[in-house]
Amino acid sequence: MQLTLENPDFRYLLRGVSADGVLVNDKTINRSFVLTPHELIEDWRPRSSQDLVADDMQALLGLNPVLVILGTGTRQQFPSAAVMASCLTRGIGIEVMDNAAAARTFNVLATEGRKVVAGFIV
C-alpha cells in the first residue's frame, strides 16, 4: 500500500482543545473566536453561551457559510432561540456542540471543501 501525505488546501486547522484554549495551527487561542478554513477572527465578543446574542452571529453570517458550527466550551449548551433563528431563517444550518467535538467536525468539513464557519466560545 502506498501512503501519500496530502496537505490541506486551507490555511487553518484545529489541532487540539484543552482547558487553556483551542490550538489553531500552532497558536493556542484562549478567547472566543470565529474560524473558516481561510480566515481567523480573534476576540469574538461572547464569553459564554449565555452571553451569546443574535447580533453576535453577524460575524459568522457575514462570511457566507452554508453551515455554522458553534462550539460552546467544555460542554454543549444550546443558545437562545433568537441565536438559532439568526441562522435558520436564512437557510443556514447550525450545529451546537462542545469545543472538542466542534474542532473535529470543523476539520472534517473543511477537508471536504464545505463552506463552514465555526464560532468558538472560550
Q: CATH number of the domain at 68, please.
A: 3.40.1230.10
| pLDDT computed for residue 44 by the predictor | 98
| pLDDT computed for residue 50 by the predictor | 92
Q: Kindly state whether residue 19 falls inside one of the protein's structural domains.
A: no
| pLDDT computed for residue 88 by the predictor | 96
Residues of the domain holding 82: 29-120
Which residues are within 8 A (CB) of 39 and not within 5 positions of it... i.e. 6 or more apart?
Answer: 11, 12, 63
CA–CA separation, 37 and 73 (whole Å): 20
Residues in the chain with pLDDT < 70?
Answer: 1-8
Q: Could you tell me the sign of the dihedral formed by the alpha carbons of 12, 105, 22, 72, in that order?
A: positive
| pLDDT computed for residue 20 by the predictor | 84
Predicted model pTM: 0.91
Q: How many domains does the chain have?
A: 1
Q: Kindly state whether residue 84 falls inside one of the protein's structural domains.
A: yes
